């Protein structure tokens, strides 16, 4: 049984680890190739795009894929919708693995927005020294914010266009609470911008911002394509995949 894992996330690597070595199961992990030195999962891997939904559907047929698990980043919306169209065209079952989103707690000063553009428009009323943790893509949206200073954290260096007043911090999570506290204070941050990526690896920044009483602009995640079942963790995704081996069919996800 050939399973394609659309990956690049911690959850995708964990799923590959859970499935690797299972008799009768051949997992292949696909990475977008946007990070220069990705953490490779065990088993077969491929890097790069497929050429849209039609290209992915052709790849599924050519390689005899029996199931697809979309374990991409919650904000990798294009590949998720391409996967839904491709899986339908190739008559291959599809599961989405999405870590739960963050939930505000007492003391949080969240400002939820629907896009990076909305986040950029909200910033001038909230602060002047911005901790921007939305990754290296999308910085062009903030390029015209000349009155603001940005601390940008990403795995790889961003390419222009980007804000004129900007310091880049190349780093990769997970991050500790002490690390995030020190970072906010050292750079005199007064507002944080993040996508609702969920997970524990980068959540300490939210706690640190709450302790400092800082506003946090949170970009809401895009929806999963209609009709695609969703599980919150790699263990449940592995259970779904193994259902094919154990039962000859895919179990229903409640």
- pLDDT category at 254 given cuts 50, 70, 90 is very low
Predicted pLDDT of residue 247: 66
- Report yes or no on 253 lying in a domain: no
Q: What is the CATH number of the domain that holds 139?
A: 3.40.50.720
Instruction: Assess whether 128 and 204 both reside in one domain.
Output: yes
Predicted pLDDT of residue 32: 83
Q: How many domains does the chain have?
A: 2
Instruction: Assess whether 155 and 228 both reside in one domain.
Output: no
**Structural domain span for residue 71:** 2-100+222-247
Instruction: Assess whether 146 and 182 both reside in one domain.
Output: yes
Predicted pLDDT of residue 199: 86
- Report yes or no on 200 lying in a domain: yes
Predicted pLDDT of residue 219: 97
Whether 186 shows a pLDDT value over 90: the answer reads: yes
Instruction: Assess whether 25 and 121 both reside in one domain.
Output: no
E strand residue ranges, the chain = 2-6, 26-31, 44-47, 67-70, 94-97, 109-113, 129-132, 149-154, 166-170, 191-195, 215-219, 230-231
- Report yes or no on 116 lying in a domain: yes
State the Cα–Cα distance between residues 95 and 6, nearest whole angstrom. 10
Confidence (pTM): 0.86
- pLDDT digit string (tens) for 162-171? 999 999 999 9
Instruction: Assess whether 211 and 233 both reside in one domain.
Output: no
Predicted pLDDT of residue 251: 47
Whether 248 shows a pLDDT value over 70: the answer reads: no
Least confident of 36-50, 159-173, 180-194, 195-209: 36-50
Predicted pLDDT of residue 82: 97
State the Cα–Cα distance between residues 56 and 51, nearest whole angstrom. 7
Q: Where are the alpha helices (DSSP H) in the chain?
A: 10-19, 52-62, 77-90, 116-122, 177-186, 204-212, 234-247
Mean pLDDT for the chain overall: 92
Instruction: Assess whether 140 and 194 both reside in one domain.
Output: yes
- pLDDT digit string (tens) for 87-143? 999 999 999 999 999 999 999 999 999 999 999 999 999 999 999 999 888 899 999
Please answer whether residues 253 and 227 qualify as being in contact, where contact means their C-beta atoms are separated by less than 8 angstroms: no
Share of the chain above pLDDT 90, in %: 82
- pLDDT category at 224 given cuts 50, 70, 90 is very high
State the Cα–Cα distance between residues 149 and 9, nearest whole angstrom. 29
Instruction: Assess whether 54 and 146 both reside in one domain.
Output: no
Instruction: Assess whether 7 and 57 both reside in one domain.
Output: yes
- pLDDT digit string (tens) for 15-52? 999 999 999 999 999 998 766 667 789 999 999 999 99
Instruction: Assess whether 85 and 149 both reside in one domain.
Output: no
Instruction: Assess whether 68 and 152 both reside in one domain.
Output: no
């Amino acid at each position: 049984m050939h399973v394609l894992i659309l990956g690049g996330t911690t959850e995708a690597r964990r799923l590959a680890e859970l499935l690797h070595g299972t008799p009768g199961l051949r997992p292949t992990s696909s990475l977008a190739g946007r990070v220069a030195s990705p953490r490779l999962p065990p088993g077969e891997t491929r890097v790069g795009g497929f050429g849209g939904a039609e290209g992915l559907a052709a790849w599924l047929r050519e390689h005899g894929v029996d199931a697809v698990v979309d374990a991409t980043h919650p904000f990798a919306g294009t590949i998720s919708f391409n996967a839904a169209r491709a899986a339908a065209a190739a008559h291959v079952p599809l599961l989405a693995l999405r870590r739960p989103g963050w939930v505000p707690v007492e003391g949080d000063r969240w400002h939820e927005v629907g896009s990076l553009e909305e986040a950029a428009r909200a910033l001038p009323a909230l602060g002047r020294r911005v901790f921007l943790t939305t990754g290296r893509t999308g910085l062009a949206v903030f390029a015209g914010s000349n009155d603001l200073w940005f601390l940008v954290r990403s795995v790889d260096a961003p390419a222009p266009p980007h804000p004129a007043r900007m310091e880049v911090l190349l780093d990769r999570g997970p991050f500790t609470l002490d690390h995030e506290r020190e970072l906010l204070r050292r750079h005199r941050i007064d507002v944080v911008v993040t996508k609702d990526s969920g997970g524990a690896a980068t959540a300490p920044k939210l706690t640190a911002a709450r302790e400092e009483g800082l506003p946090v602009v949170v970009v809401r995640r895009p929806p999963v394509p209609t009709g695609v079942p969703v599980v919150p963790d790699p263990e449940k995704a592995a259970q779904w995949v193994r259902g094919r081996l154990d039962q000859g069919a895919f179990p229903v996800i409640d």
